[in-house]
Amino acid sequence: MNDSPGWASPGSSPSDGERPGAPSDQPASGGPKWSAEQPPPGDWSAPGAGPAPTPPPPAPPQQGQGWGPYGGQQHGAPYGSPYGGQYGYPGGPGQWGKPPAAKPGVIPLRPLDMGEILDGAVATMRAHWRSVLPITLVVATVVQVLSLLLQKYVMSDLALATDPAADIEQTINTLGTASAVTAGALFIQALGGIVATAMLTMIFSRAVLGNSSTVSAAWRDARPQLLRLTGLTLLMGLGLISLVTVLIVPGLLARSAGLVVLGGFAAVPLATWLWIKFGLASPALMLEKSTVFTSLRRSSKLVKGTWWRIFGITLLTGIITGIIAAIIVWPLTFLGVALFGGGMGGLQAGTASTAWGALILSGIGAIIAQTIVMPMQSGVTVLLYVDQRIRREGLDLELARAAGVENYGTTGG
């Protein structure tokens, strides 16, 4: 029996193991779980909207109407499944094919293929750009301004610190200052990424239902979970750092290059496996209103058995976004070096990386690239989470009812 929580609307209470509105004497665990039963129409409402209207009872099946939840007979298919059943398509029996799925938002409510996941992310960016782009633009601008200042001043200080003429005390002070500034910049970057991820998750979850969202509404829905999302991000980051440290430090202590290389070869695939295994924890935490460790368990459960598929989609997304970023950033970087950094001579002298003109042009390119790439990466993660829940838990039924799709998941005679 399915023990998955329901689709929690942004801003609702937790739904881990208990159906909202269930009697108070119903146990949270050990008893029947509500997600295995079909909730009554209108039980789940779309974020920011009232309850969905109660659909009328399904009409009796008629010959030639099609099959499944799309208005006709269905033979041999599970309850609510849009697959299987009669040979035919909606509007005429006796022909091969499958019915079109309901699509209230950016994706059809059925298991998705890789192209549909990528298209859904792009479609959300295009349809809801007034909400998506301001979030990513602000975060990308703050991050790049800090990076520019870091590269301009801290890198110059590091160059002075490595000068043989500098005394030891000056070198230590400069390195300490540079380390503190770098750590502060990285912290602000991580904080900005967490805020952007949380708000984008809410926007994409609404887009699945065909609902729009404002920046203020996304912030209001995401804010209650920000502290937990920060804890999840720090936990995953520290976990990966600890893993790499445990596998590589013994070789460094033993001063064995072979042992270091062996530890590195072991760390990369193991870290990749863990990163994909827990890659859906962020949307699970935000949309199910769960805790840090519950979201990690949910991600592990959803990814189980489909690790390679999720890895492939994640890798392809990384390649696509990397190419997009390179197309935008590198031309502006080369132009900045050529115009303001002294060209090849500046590169050889090391002055090109600290020239204001080159840094500004490179930063502008990075801001544009991150503004485009960040929502695409977040969108793919959210849609992977939705797709896995549709495949494993029949989430499409709840989404259809939340979107007000009538007669979805009903059977004929």
The tens digit of pLDDT for each residue in 225-277 reads 999 999 999 999 899 889 988 998 888 888 888 888 898 899 999 999 999 99
81 is a domain residue: no
Q: If residue 181 lies in a helix (H) or strand (E), which one and from where to where?
A: helix 168-208
Provide the domain count of the chain: 1
Q: Which residues pair with 88 in a beta bridge?
A: 93
Average pLDDT of 142-158?
74
43 is a domain residue: no
Q: How far apart are CA 86 and CA 19, in angstroms?
A: 34
Q: Which residues pair with 89 in a beta bridge?
A: 92
Average pLDDT of 149-154?
73
Task: Check if the beta carbon of residue 80 is closer than 8 Å to that of residue 394.
Answer: yes
The tens digit of pLDDT for each residue in 250-264 reads 888 888 888 888 988
Name the one residue in this structure whose structure tokens are 């805020």.
Answer: 195
90 is a domain residue: no
Is the per-residue pLDDT at 204 higher than 60? yes
4 is a domain residue: no
Token digits of residue 281: 């924890």
The tens digit of pLDDT for each residue in 77-132 reads 333 333 333 333 343 343 344 457 889 999 999 999 999 999 999 999 999 999 99
78 is a domain residue: no
Is the per-residue pLDDT at 388 higher than 60? yes
Is residue 331 very low, low, confident or very high in pLDDT (cuts 50, 70, 90)? very high
Structural domain that includes position 342: 115-391
73: three-class secondary structure by DSSP: strand
Task: Check if the beta carbon of residue 319 is closer than 8 Å to that of residue 341.
Answer: no
The tens digit of pLDDT for each residue in 27-84 reads 444 443 444 444 444 444 444 444 545 555 554 444 333 323 333 333 333 333 333 3
Res 353: pLDDT: 64
Is the per-residue pLDDT at 367 higher than 90? yes
153 is a domain residue: yes
133 is a domain residue: yes
Res 257: pLDDT: 85
Is residue 338 very low, low, confident or very high in pLDDT (cuts 50, 70, 90)? confident
372 is a domain residue: yes
Task: Check if the beta carbon of residue 174 is closer than 8 Å to that of residue 157.
Answer: yes
- Minimal CA–CA distance to 213: which of 7, 401, 9? 9
pTM for the whole structure: 0.72
